[in-house]
């Protein structure tokens, strides 16, 4: 009878990077202008190695040669345009944003939904905030309030992913019912370079996140993670780090001396534990710190260059603990992870942590691709005020696609609502008190309304207060005993920034905003969550009635680069009903009401 093995394998991969690609030419330009220091072209121009390189690459400069071919970095991605500054970083994506995108991609790759994840393990040294731990916040973007799976946040850089691999396996062993764990690392290394002037960190570091889903399965064969080792070197403790002012410090030569020792030590210990020889390794996937460290380490191990994977380093830079899962995600994307490959991964870096893991690849037939949000609102009833407007109509379709039972209010154009699945249609004019009362009475039979969404709105001065304020207030006050889970209303960025010619619309929105904020604490006593979303300019809807010159000036003042896509907007609104947080929404609290700004951030003086 064959032995049965419990295997822990990567069932999904995902990654994301800063949206600004920084080329070596950008850094060279900053050196030439005197913004960065430490590079001497004259020393290299006469060297034999450069002259030989120049013969076959006549168009390349000394900096091209040094940064790309000697150091091993050709491109990297940052969350801001080059160079990073405190103000640019305020408006930029954070390590949180990058991680959410990477994990979402990994879940899609694994064909799992977030509710199937049993634990969340995230490491970083550049969190978006000091507390709570980043793993707890990341989880809030994927599951609802009833999900109690644990989260683990690790403050660790280069070795963070490797350390969490060991923690994940230990978690599986002590929690036999666990089947899937998210392990991710995320980093915005450029946020530590605001005050640096030496060129080396700018060549070396990038911003990225990468994630894997580790799944458990039983099989007659042994595959997946074979062994994990982690160590610590106190001699490397102070060679690289980030001080209390969030500025990077590093000693290049001392880092090299220790890392080239520690990488082979960890690799050999892992090989011995796995019972592999160096010759059996198909691919060495190290933490990608630069050629000056990795090539001597590979040589010490006896691993030929063709088995050394450095593409993540070449085109994404050193992204701390993200580099190993990023490498694996790139290999997976390129269909280069064939069955039964033997992979060794080693890491060494900040704080002196170093380690390695061994892995045997295995592919599995996955479930058919699916919609993440399919049937997430099945069995839930949602009342939508203003569903006959363009935004309300598109939102109703999104909610219907998620399985919701809809109660759709409209005034004009209600006929088109009849085509929406699982919808009951109501007609009411918010300018007419009797019409509103009839509408409220017609809802008396619906004792359980899980969510109420207010998408009603008008720019017309004569009706703005009735439609944007009095009507919704009257309805919510009358139905509050029937609403079970949440109230969500759509406001406008014009509450924060000046928009000419629409004072009545803005003041009525502010009035309703204030009503919800003041009532949110009382609503919470009934178990009702209150969310108020303030979008920038949306591509359709009321914004179509705003003259182009005013719209352009307004978007310029908010920093909104382009109109919000209606599909993405409706997706975010629907997610906001039941997910604690939604990507690309900036949050704050007013009383017990969660306020989310979409498409812009409030101005800050930095």
Q: Pick from 91, 168, 154: which is nearest to 605 by CA?
A: 91
Residue from 516, 526, 10 nearest 217 by CA: 10
Please write the tens of the pLDDT for every residue from 339-348: 999 999 999 9
Structure tokens at 288: 């990608």
Q: Does residue 290 register a pLDDT over 70?
A: yes
* Share above pLDDT 70 across residues of the chain, in percent, rounded to a whole number: 99
Q: Which two tokens stand for residue 89?
A: 């970083």
d(CA 62, CA 70): 10
Q: What is the DSSP letter of 70?
A: I
Q: How confident is the model at residue 3 (pLDDT cuts 50, 70, 90)?
A: confident
Is residue 103 within 8 Å of residue 112, measured between CB atoms? no
pLDDT at 589: 97
- Report the pLDDT averaged over residues 85-105: 96
Predicted pLDDT of residue 574: 97
| pLDDT tens digits for range 224-265 | 999 999 999 998 888 888 999 999 988 878 888 888 999 999
Mean pLDDT score, 505-529: 97
The CATH 3.40.50.720 portion of the chain extends over 381-598
pLDDT in tens, 160-176: 999 999 999 999 999 99
Give the pLDDT score at 42. Answer: 87
Band (360; pLDDT cuts 50, 70, 90)? very high
Q: Which CATH number fits domain 381-598: 3.40.50.720, 1.10.1200.10, 3.90.1150.10, 3.50.50.60?
A: 3.40.50.720
Is pLDDT at 374 greater than 80 in this prediction?
no
| 521 pLDDT above the threshold of 70 | yes
Predicted local confidence at residue 1, as pLDDT:
53
Q: How far apart are CA 562 and CA 238, in angstroms?
A: 45
For residue 528, pLDDT over 60 is answered with: yes
- Contact between 530 and 573 (Cβ < 8 Å): no
- Give pLDDT, residue 335: 94
Task: Find, among 467, 449, 440, 442, the residue nearest to 406 by Cα.
Answer: 449
Rounded to whole angstroms, the Cα distance separating 123 from 321 reads 8
CA–CA gap between residue 577 and residue 406 (Å, rounded): 14
Residue 369 banded pLDDT, cuts 50, 70, 90: low
Average pLDDT over residues 12-26: 97
Q: In what order do the strands lie in the sheet with 483-490?
A: 423-427, 405-410, 381-385, 449-454, 483-490, 529-535, 593-598, 585-590
Q: Which two tokens stand for residue 285?
A: 């996937």
CATH among 2.40.110.10, 3.40.190.10, 3.40.47.10, 3.40.50.11540 for 10-360: 3.40.47.10
The strand pairing partners of 318, in sequence order, are 205
**Among positive and negative, which fits the CA dihedral 343, 344, 348, 352?**
positive
Question: Under a CB-based contact definition with an 8 Å cutoff, are residues 82 and 20 in contact?
Answer: yes
Report pLDDT for 571.
96
Q: Residue 205 pLDDT more than 60?
A: yes
Residue-level pLDDT at 252: 79
Residues of the chain with pLDDT > 90, as a percent, come to 90
**474-497 average pLDDT score:** 97
CA dihedral for 21, 25, 26, 28, sign (positive or negative): positive
Q: pTM here? A: 0.94
Contacts of 387 (CB under 8 A, 6+ apart): 393, 395, 396, 406, 408, 409, 410, 417, 455
Those residues with Cβ within 8 angstroms of residue 362's Cβ, 6 or more apart along the chain or in another chain: 7, 9, 221, 223, 224, 339, 340
Q: Where in the chain is the domain with CATH 3.40.47.10?
A: 10-360
Cα-Cα end-to-end distance for the chain: 69
Q: How confident is the model at residue 371 (pLDDT cuts 50, 70, 90)?
A: low
Q: Tell whether the model's pLDDT for residue 284 goes beyond 90.
A: yes
- Is residue 372 predicted with pLDDT exceeding 80? no
Can you tell me the mean pLDDT for 424-436?
97
| Mean pLDDT, the chain, integer | 95
- The label of the residue with tokens 């060279």 reads 28
Phi then psi for residue 321, to 5 deg, are: -65, -5
With CA atoms as reference, report the closest residue to 543 among 492, 599, 496: 492
């Amino acid at each position: 009878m064959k032995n049965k093995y419990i295997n822990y394998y990567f069932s999904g991969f995902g990654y994301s990077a800063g949206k600004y690609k920084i080329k070596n030419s950008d850094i060279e330009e900053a050196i030439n202008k005197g913004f960065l220091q430490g590079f001497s072209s004259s020393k290299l121009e006469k060297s034999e190695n450069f002259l030989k390189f120049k013969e076959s690459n006549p168009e390349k400069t000394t900096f091209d040669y040094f940064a790309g071919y000697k150091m091993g970095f050709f491109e990297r991605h940052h969350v801001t345009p080059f160079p990073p500054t405190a103000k640019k970083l305020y408006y930029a994506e954070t390590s949180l944003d990058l991680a959410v995108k990477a994990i979402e991609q990994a879940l899609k790759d694994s064909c799992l939904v977030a509710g199937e994840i049993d634990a969340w393990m995230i490491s970083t040294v550049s969190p978006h905030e000091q507390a709570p731990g980043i793993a707890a916040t990341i989880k809030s973007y994927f599951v609802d309030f009833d999900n109690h799976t644990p989260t683990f946040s690790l403050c660790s850089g280069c070795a963070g992913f490797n350390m969490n691999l060991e923690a994940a396996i230990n978690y599986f062993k002590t929690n036999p019912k666990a089947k899937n764990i998210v392990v991710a690392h995320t980093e915005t290394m450029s946020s530590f370079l605001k005050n640096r002037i030496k060129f080396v960190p700018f060549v070396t570091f990038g911003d990225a996140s990468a994630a894997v889903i580790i799944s458990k399965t039983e099989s007659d064969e042994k595959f997946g993670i074979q062994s994990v080792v982690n160590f610590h070197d106190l001699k490397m403790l102070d060679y690289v780090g980030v001080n209390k002012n969030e500025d990077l410090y590093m000693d290049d030569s001392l880092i090299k001396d220790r890392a080239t020792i520690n990488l082979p030590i960890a690799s050999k210990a892992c090989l011995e534990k796995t019972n592999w020889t160096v010759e059996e390794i198909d691919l060495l996937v190290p933490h990608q710190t630069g050629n000056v460290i990795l090539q001597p380490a590979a040589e010490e191990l006896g691993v030929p260059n063709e088995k050394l994977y450095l593409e993540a380093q070449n085109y994404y830079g050193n992204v701390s603990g993200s580099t190993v899962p990023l490498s694996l995600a790139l290999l997976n994307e390129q269909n280069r992870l064939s069955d039964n490959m033997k992979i060794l991964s080693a890491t060494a870096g900040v704080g002196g942590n170093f380690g390695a893991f061994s892995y045997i690849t295995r592919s599995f037939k996955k479930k058919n691709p699916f919609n993440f949000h399919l049937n997430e609102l099945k069995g839930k009833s949602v009342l939508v005020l203003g569903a006959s407007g363009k935004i309300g109509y598109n939102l109703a379709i999104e909610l219907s696609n998620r399985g919701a039972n809809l109660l759709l209010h409209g005034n004009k154009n209600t006929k088109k609502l009849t085509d929406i699945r699982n919808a009951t249609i109501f007609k009411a004019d918010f300018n007419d008190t009797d019409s509103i009362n009839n509408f409220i009475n017609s809802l008396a039979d619906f004792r359980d309304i899980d969510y109420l969404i207010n998408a009603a709105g008008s720019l017309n001065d004569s009706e703005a207060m009735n439609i944007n304020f009095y009507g919704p207030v009257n309805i919510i006050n009358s139905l509050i005993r029937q609403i079970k889970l949440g109230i969500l209303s759509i406001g406008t960025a014009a509450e924060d920034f000046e928009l000419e010619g629409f004072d009545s619309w803005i003041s009525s929105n502010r009035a309703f905003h204030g009503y919800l904020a003041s009532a949110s604490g009382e609503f919470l006593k009934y178990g009702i969550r209150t969310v108020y979303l303030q979008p920038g300019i949306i591509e359709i809807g009321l914004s179509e009635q705003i003259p182009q010159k005013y719209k352009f000036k307004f978007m310029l003042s908010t920093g909104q680069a382009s109109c919000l896509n209606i599909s993405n907007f409706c997706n975010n609104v629907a997610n906001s009903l039941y997910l604690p947080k939604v990507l690309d929404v900036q949050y704050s609290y007013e009383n017990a009401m969660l306020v989310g700004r979409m498409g812009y951030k409030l101005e800050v003086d930095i």
